[in-house]
Amino acid sequence: MIRLAFALCLAALSCAQEPQTLSGTLEYTPIEGGVWNLRSGDTLYDLHGDLGSPISGARVEVTGRVENGMVCGHMRGTIFQVSGILVLGGAGEDAGLEEPGAR
Segment 8-29, tens digit of pLDDT: 555 555 555 789 999 999 999 8
Based on the structure, what is the number of domains in the chain?
1
- Helix, strand, coil percentages, rounded to 5, for the chain: 15, 40, 45
Domain harbouring 66, CATH code: 2.40.50.140
Residue 97 lies in a domain: no
Query: For 84-96, what is each residue's pLDDT tens digit?
Result: 999 998 765 444 4
pTM score, two decimals?
A: 0.70
Residue 7 lies in a domain: no
Tell me the residue range of the domain where 59 lies: 17-89
Residue 74 lies in a domain: yes
- Measured at the CA of 50, the angle between CA 60 and CA 16, to 5 degrees, comes to 90
Q: Residues 90, 68, 100, 33: is their CA dihedral positive or negative?
A: positive
Residue 6 lies in a domain: no
CA distance 86 to 63: 9
Q: How far is CA 57 from the centre of its chain?
A: 15
Residue 4 lies in a domain: no
